Structure 1
Amino acid sequence: MLGILVVLLCAAILASIRCGSQNYTMGQIISSLKAGDQGDTVWRVVMHVRLPRTLACLLAGCALAVAGVLIQSVLNNAMASPSVIGVNAGAGFFALLAAIVFPEVAGLVSAASFLGALLATLLIYALASRAGLSRTTLVLAGIAVSSMLTAGINTITLLYPDAVIGATGFMLGGFSGVTFSAIQGAIVYLLIGLVMAALLATDLNVLQLGEESAASLGLHIGRTRFLAIVAAALLAGAAVSFAGLLGFVGLLIPHAARRLIGNDNVWLLPASALLGGVFVIFCDLLARMLFAPFELPVGIVMSLLGGPFFLFLLLRHKRSRVYG
């Protein structure tokens, strides 16, 4: 199954490079890249538009999907995800705040996104713990915190419209105009988050047995949860810093991957990363091609696909277990 997902991802990458408002054949692309003529239209479109955009889609999809798996495992809630419980909103709020207060500091947006995602996750977990830690209180606390942070984002965009150029695209989420330099600042956070997630896979399996069983097996529950939250914050914050507030990737993809792979995080995490990349690239292709030459924000396409899925989850989990 992982091999099939790798093939699908390769096909999605090739389609993303070839297709758009103007389609190119692989022969045209290869010939243009071999020639290296920077004045050639195909070369400029591929190198400056489609390659960075495809890479951004791949990284954002992998990061948000893995962050979704981590958050669902830590919170023991199948309806939790970076967008639903406010992690994305926290990353977005701090990213915009950093862009306004310290616009001249390079790389600060990615660091601020991570800090915002981490603080939002810890705040939601603390509020839910005080109110009685359950699946319902976690989601409700996340929605409340997300609403407040979104209000903060809207306030910033209204008070500082000149400082926050392209804030509308950031709010909806998308990859229009993304460059290699924008991705470069987030690469370190993405790599650290993915490595942490891989190292935590076995411990997360033990945690899913329940706190009493996990503790009897010698698992340090508090440390495992904290490290998983940090890893999820790194991944979600890094993705938000260049992709904006994309929704539903961290909710939809882990469920789809569980159907294909099962609940073993050793396999679920890489499967979610691959499937997340395929999904975001596919949504970006739809956003580019549905109304070409006009382009939809990717977040709109994801919401159209993810909204019905979220309603399905609400109805399904009314009568089933967390991981059915």
Structure 2
Amino acid sequence: MFSSKHKKPLLFTGLTLLLAAAMILSVCIGSTRLDLLDALRTLQDPQSASARILLYVRLPRTLAPVLAGLAMAVSGVLIQGVLNNALAGPNIIGVNGGAGLFALLAAVLLPTAPEAMPAAAFAGALCASMLIYLTAMKTGASRVTIVLAGVAFSGIFSAGIDTIRTLYPDVVVGANNFLIGGFSGVTLGSLTPACWYILVGLVLAFLIGPELNVLALGEDTAQTLGMHVNAVRFVLLLTASLLAGAAVSFSGLIGFVGLLVPHVVRRLFGSDHRVVLPAAALLGAAFVTLCDTLARTLFAPYEVPVGILLSLIGGPFFLVLLLQKKHRGRVYD
């Protein structure tokens, strides 16, 4: 048995190696098998078939799930911490739905400006987050009630998305893939704007996220220690929305990553957010990358959107959490 002193560094090393292995598999496995070393050598000739596959197909297809996974996982940690609710997650409480609605609105209103989608998705995610937060503050709602409120808001956002799809069927191209969630057809150009949003969100999360340790002590205690509770919560929700919105802008409405990954990380590393946040980023990136690789290879030559696989995994996990809530009276360790 390893001592607790060495356990966390070993776990971090394991997660880093898992992410590296997931990325290598994603690059090498597909409709055309790619030898990574040979492909890297052929980069001296960018017009060769192997180089073009690596640069224009496999590289963006690998970076997309990495970015989406780490963004959704960190967003989930922040949302669960701010709401003090282990059942919360970007897709569960409607954050993804709000981001998706605003992203589609941007596609309709600004069809020649694809770079507007990340900003619009962020705005939608922020609106959804603030609606849930205000609901929790005004009603003093229980954890389950907050989740139910999120489900209600998700229904409203879904109605808006369906309305856009009905009124503008020719404008919203690929809406089905977007609503399910997946990375088919993603390009480096579509990833670049979202990458900057995610980078800013990660920096903010790592700088301010540890304040969740103080919030976990209770609002009165946090105020006694000199924390401006409402300001910190707002900035944390802003950061969570930035991450979730940026991920939705290129991945669509992938779900359950922000719910599942934080729970696994807390079981492995404990509840210190200084450790939980970077660990969630690593595990989220590896998890979504592995799921995407499976989704596009299990039924080859057909490709299943990764959102379906994530829902098949995340749905039962969410039910287990609800059963824990019922039998133990709590779900937040």
Give the TM-score taking structure 1 as reference length: 0.97
Q: State the shift of 1:203 in Å.
A: 1.1
Q: 1:92, 1:116 within 8 Å by CA — same for their partners in 2?
A: yes
Shift of 1:198: 0.7
CA displacement 1:22-61 (0-9 Å, x = unmatched)? 222233323322x3241x2222211111100110110000
Conserved 8 A contact 1:131-1:137: no
Identity %, equivalent residues: 55
Distance 1:317 1:61 in 2: 26
Aligned to 2:6: none
Q: 2:139 maps to what in 1?
A: 131
Using the TM superposition, name which of 311-320 and 135-144 deviates more: 311-320
Looking at structure 2, the residues matched to 144 and 317 of structure 1 have their Cα atoms a distance apart, in angstroms, of: 20
Which of 45, 49, 52 aligns to 1:36? It is: 45
CA distance in 1, matches of 2:244, 2:55: 26
Give 1:154's aligned residue. Answer: 162
Q: 1:278 aligns with which of 260, 275, 286?
A: 286
Counterpart CA distance in 2 for 1:37 and 1:239 is: 29
Does residue 1:170 correspond to 2:178, yes or no?
yes
| 1:76–1:322 Cα contact (<8 Å) kept | no
Q: What is the Cα deviation at residue 2 of structure 1? A: 1.1
Alignment match, 2:204: 196
Q: Confirm whether residue 255 of structure 1 aligns to residue 257 of structure 2.
A: no
For residues 191-270 of structure 1, what are the structure 2 equivalents within 5 Å? 191-270=199-278
Q: What's 1:26 paired with?
A: 36
Report the Cα distance in structure 2 between the residues aligned to 1:203 and 1:186, rounded to whole angstroms: 26
Distance in 1 of aligned mates of 2:49 and 2:303? 20
* 1:82 aligns with one of 84, 90, 93: 90
- Structure 1 runs (4+) greater than 6 angstroms displaced: none
**What residue in structure 2 maps to residue 187 of structure 1?**
195
Unaligned runs of 5+ in 1: none
Please report how far the alpha carbon of residue 260 of structure 1 lies from its aligned counterpart in structure 2 after TM superposition.
1.2
CA distance in structure 2 between the partners assigned to 1:42 and 1:320 by the alignment: 55
Which residue is 1:10 aligned to?
A: 20
Matched position secondary structure for 1:133:
coil
Deviation for aligned residue 1:320: 4.4
RMSD: 1.2
2:151 alignment partner, SS class:
helix
Q: For residue 288 of structure 1, what is the amino acid of its counterpart?
A: R
d(CA) in 2 for partners of 1:95, 1:236: 12
Contact 1:85 1:142 in 2 (8 A): yes
Q: Which amino acid aligns with 1:188?
A: W
Alignment deviations for residues 302-321 of structure 1 (CA, whole Å, 9 cap, x no partner): 00111111111111122143
| Inter-partner Cα distance in structure 2 for 1:124 and 1:202 | 22
> Does residue 63 of structure 2 align to residue 55 of structure 1?
yes
Q: Deviations over 1:202-259 (max 9, x none)?
A: 2110001111221111111101100000000000000000000000000000001111
Does the C-alpha gap of structure 1 residues 4 and 320 become closer, same or farther in structure 2, counting only changes over 3 Å? Answer: farther
| 2:4 alignment partner in structure 1 | none
| Equivalent residue number for residue 332 of structure 2 | 323
TM-score, normalised to structure 2, is 0.94
> How far did 1:21 drift?
1.9
After superposition, give the CA deviation of every residue in 1:148-197 in whole Å (9 maximum; x if it has no partner): 10111111112111100000000000000000010111122111111111
Matching residue within 126, 149, 163 for 1:118: 126
Unaligned runs of 5+ in 2: 1-10
